[in-house]
Amino acid sequence: MSELLRLTQIRKSYGIGTPIETEVLHGIDLVMQHKEFAALIGPSGSGKSTLLNIIGLLEPATQGALAMQGKAIKYTDEKTLTQQRAANLGFVFQFHHLLPAFSAIENVMMPQLINGMPVTGTARKEAEALLDAVGLSKAINKKPSELSGGMQQRVAIARALSLKPALVLADEPTGNLDTQTSDEIFKLLRRFNVEFNTAFLIVTHDPRLAARCDRIVELVDGNIAKDAVNQAR
């Protein structure tokens, strides 16, 4: 496996220059390889979502360096950040976060539309295949409001994979779902990890889900407390 992501001494503070300045990440070092399937666990407030946002290039680190596929990322260049997000990253959020005005298939094809790719022919067939893979072939034209929570999350997963990113960041993808649906969603993530060779970094509170990942990174009070290959699997 080759290196996908390297974080070096990442620090993040909020309220810089004010009396309430708080550092939530205290020098994180983390390396992820291609095709890895890792869980990021930790108590609430430990900095998991912040770390995920920094890796997802959604917010800048206060200090430290981030390299993706060997290329150092500068937070000052907004255009490159947008391009990197579109090219390398997929997102799955806890609350599905689909666009309510668009149908399931339009949501899946949204990254293509944003990147100015044609949204007919091959692209549509690929989106249909993705929705079929997540078991929603019959719901492609339905609006998010017509879908259940589990179905919406499947659409979100299909969307995250539509541009075949190298890394999908999932922020508590099953946090809002019942046990059975959570299990199905997890299986889907795993399947795409194998089929598409996509690396996953999954933030979760659920120890049972974490236990099924290949690697578990535990964050406590803004520091990595444990980072180990999951022997239990």
Partner 1 sequence: MKFELTLAWRFLREGRFQSALIIIGVAVGVAVVIYISALILGLQANTINRTLGAQAHIVIKPPDEMVRNVLPTDTTLATIQPKAQRLRSVDNWQVLMPALAVDPDVVAVSPMASGAAIAIRGEANRAIVLFGVELDRYDRIVELSTKLTRGNFRLNAGEVMIGIELAKDLGVDVGDRLRVLTPSANDQFQISGLVDLGSRDLNRRALYLPMRTAQNLLGIPGGVTNIDIRIRDIFSANDVAKRMQSVGSVNVESWMQTNGQLLNALQAQSVSTTMIRLFVSIVVMLGIASVLVVSVVQKRKEIGILRAIGASRGQMTRVFLLQGALVGFVGSTLGGVLAALLVAAFSALVTNSAGQPLFQIEIEPSLLISSCLIATVCGTLAAVAPALRASKLDPAQAIRV
Footprint of partner 1 on this chain (CB under 8 A)? Answer: 49, 53, 56, 58-59, 78-79, 82-83, 85-86, 90-91, 93, 97-102, 110-111, 113-116, 119, 159-160, 163
Q: Closest distance between partner 1 and the C-beta of residue 229, in Å? A: 29
Q: Closest distance between partner 1 and the C-beta of residue 106, in Å? A: 9
CB neighbour list of residue 134: distance below 8 Å, 6 or more residues apart: 154, 155, 157, 158, 188
Residue for token pair 């022919």: 121
Q: Closest distance between partner 1 and the C-beta of residue 96, in Å? A: 10
Residue 165 or 216 with smaller CB distance to partner 1:
165
Residue 100 or 231 with smaller CB distance to partner 1:
100
The angle, 0 to 180 degrees and rounded to 10, between the axes of the packed helices 104-114 and 122-133 is 130
Helix (H) or strand (E) holding 209: helix 207-210
Residue 164 or 233 with smaller CB distance to partner 1:
164
Residue 33 or 115 with smaller CB distance to partner 1:
115
Q: Closest distance between partner 1 and the C-beta of residue 212, in Å? A: 26
Q: Do 201 and 194 meet the contact criterion of CB atoms below 8 Å apart? A: no
Residue 59 or 178 with smaller CB distance to partner 1:
59
Burial 18-33 (b: 16+ CB within 10 A, else e): eeeeebbbeebebebe
Closest alpha carbon to 193 in 55, 41, 34, 86: 34
Residue 40 or 216 with smaller CB distance to partner 1:
40
Q: Closest distance between partner 1 and the C-beta of residue 186, in Å? A: 22
CB neighbour list of residue 169: distance below 8 Å, 6 or more residues apart: 52, 55, 56, 89, 90, 91, 92, 201, 203
Residue 46: φ, ψ to 5°: -80, -10
Going 30 to 34 to 38 to 40, the CA torsion angle's sign is: positive
Q: Closest distance between partner 1 and the C-beta of residue 34, in Å? A: 21
Residue 17 or 100 with smaller CB distance to partner 1:
100
CA–CA dist 213, 199 (Å, integer): 11
**Residue 68 Ramachandran class (φ > 0 left, ψ -120 to 50 alpha, else beta):** beta
Q: Closest distance between partner 1 and the C-beta of residue 111, in Å? A: 5
